[in-house]
Structure 1
């Protein structure tokens, strides 16, 4: 009945994963039984699993990523006590300040012709002007449901997305457990985890209706940003979501942000993913590290994952 009725009407192959997400909420009823030993690999590998998007990218554009990494660390760790009107401005806005400064530095390198005779891969990674990306973008672009036509259902695509969602459930568990520890908040109970993943399923459904190429999942870098800024407020998330919705309708602004060289993000990922991974390892303090069985469980889980 789902393929013949709900799926064609509500969003094609992305509907089944969203329904599966709600059906899988019983999985999170078992989250109250997750031991600290089991959460070590789950939370740590949320950060370690994205390692290839961080430091390995350094070699593509050393002259941008290394200054970005150094400046971010200096502002967030060594100058974090600098305050303006009792506001630790450098700790709160270390990522924003360092990204803006290095972005301007990348524009200077591009304008000075530093990449004219470099390999194509280097130019693609380092140049701050993305082939008329800004000039070709429209000023205003309003997205609407079913913009790309009526939804279709394909069993192969649907089952493939179901497998992806099942993996995303585990990743979301690790991120939801990591976020409150980095924000110095209380651990989320089982019903909060269920509610979070349920809304993640709604996000996947909306992605299918609007015809996006990806679904919705947790943002590991934002979890790491909680540990860097020490700001864990829902109001911040709500305002950020409003900004993203607003700027998504302004094509020029979206293209402007898309022109930021990826090595700038990769340098930030080195810090943010590291914070998430170290938070996962911090669960070891609640385990008996004199037990050979615990060593075996953690070692096998980390190596196989």
Structure 2
């Protein structure tokens, strides 16, 4: 039913209420501070910055585009494994859309954007793969993004609760990756495959981040990029 599809959201809400009761009402732990929520306005526009072109910044940030492509590739493979649908032929459209979105974001002072592994984890939990859902979710996110008060409410969520939700989401992504290996009949008797899998799993689940200036690429992206490089290195055709 509907409750089963919303378990992650319901779990986060229930844990928030429990934390509030234990900390704010019973006095155990650090209480949730709602002063920021009271001070925030209901409607507000984001700060917009005009683009500036500096060679030092371009040299630093431009390679990030290749990392974003690697991250998108990993996400595509995960979705393909979950949905049993051939989506690889549409990968070019995804790369184009991601590049267009990154260009648009940079034009107003934002950072590079990409697909998010958290969304894929939610797809694995809910078993809902409709693209229409993500269009609606995007529009709702834009509307909520125009409300500083909603942002202040999100800021009140304790780090412990976000950490618990992250364990579930990223754990599901790791298992989805392992399922792809199983379905593809990867031969783990080969040392090269063992090394690739071991390094990828640890970098992904350990969230080995790559920092380039103000841009932070999470463990999913770095793990995907490393897997591609190691696979190309270990599986070169011998002449």
If the length of structure 2 is used for normalisation, what is the TM-score? 0.75
> Matched residues in 1 for 2:186 and 2:145: separation?
49
Query: Is 1:114 the counterpart of 2:31 in the alignment?
Result: no
- In the TM superposition, residue 288 of structure 1 has moved relative to its aligned partner by 5.2
Query: Is 1:277 the counterpart of 2:171 in the alignment?
Result: no
Query: Is 1:128 the counterpart of 2:23 in the alignment?
Result: no
Q: Is the 8 A contact 1:143 1:210 kept in 2?
A: no
Secondary structure at the counterpart of residue 62 of structure 2: helix
Tell me the equivalent position of 1:251.
148
- In the TM superposition, residue 303 of structure 1 has moved relative to its aligned partner by 4.1
> Matched residues in 2 for 1:154 and 1:95: separation?
43
Query: Is 1:199 the counterpart of 2:102 in the alignment?
Result: no
> Matched residues in 1 for 2:21 and 2:107: separation?
41
- In the TM superposition, residue 281 of structure 1 has moved relative to its aligned partner by 1.6
Q: Is the 8 A contact 1:110 1:129 kept in 2?
A: no
Secondary structure at the counterpart of residue 63 of structure 2: helix
Tell me the equivalent position of 2:56.
156
> Matched residues in 1 for 2:186 and 2:171: separation?
24
> Matched residues in 2 for 1:189 and 1:174: separation?
11
Across the two proteins, how many residue pairs are aligned to each other?
A: 198
Moved runs in structure 1, 4+ residues, more than 6 A? none
Tell me the equivalent position of 2:234.
none
Query: Is 1:216 the counterpart of 2:97 in the alignment?
Result: no
Secondary structure at the counterpart of residue 44 of structure 2: coil
- In the TM superposition, residue 114 of structure 1 has moved relative to its aligned partner by 2.0
Q: How does 1:157-176 map to 2 (within 5 A)?
A: 157-176=57-76
Q: How does 1:42-191 map to 2 (within 5 A)?
A: 88-112=1-25, 113-115=27-29, 123=30, 127-129=31-33, 132-143=35-46, 147-148=48-49, 150-182=50-82, 184-190=83-89
Name which one, 1 or 2, has greater alpha-carbon Rg: 1
Identify the structure with bigger relative contact order (alpha carbons < 8 Å, sequence gap 6+).
1
Secondary structure at the counterpart of residue 142 of structure 1: coil
Tell me the equivalent position of 2:194.
299
256-265 vs 218-227, greater mean Cα deviation: 256-265
Unaligned 5+ segments in structure 2 are 200-225, 227-239
Tell me the equivalent position of 1:63.
none
- In the TM superposition, residue 158 of structure 1 has moved relative to its aligned partner by 1.5
The superposition leaves residues 75-129 of structure 1 with CA deviations (integer Å, 9 ceiling, x where unpaired) of: xxxxxxxxxxxxx1232010111111111112223313323xxxxxxx4xxx432
Classify 1:265/1:180 alpha carbon distance in 2 versus 1 (closer, same or farther; 3 Å).
farther
- In the TM superposition, residue 262 of structure 1 has moved relative to its aligned partner by 2.5
The superposition leaves residues 221-259 of structure 1 with CA deviations (integer Å, 9 ceiling, x where unpaired) of: 110111111011111101111110111111111211222
Classify 1:288/1:203 alpha carbon distance in 2 versus 1 (closer, same or farther; 3 Å).
closer
If the length of structure 1 is used for normalisation, what is the TM-score? 0.60
The structure whose residues are more often helix, as a share, is 1
Q: Is the 8 A contact 1:140 1:250 kept in 2?
A: yes
Secondary structure at the counterpart of residue 186 of structure 1: coil
Q: How does 1:18-33 map to 2 (within 5 A)?
A: none
Out of 223, 227, 233, the position equivalent to 2:130 is: 233
When the two chains are superposed, the root-mean-square deviation of aligned CA atoms in Å is 2.1
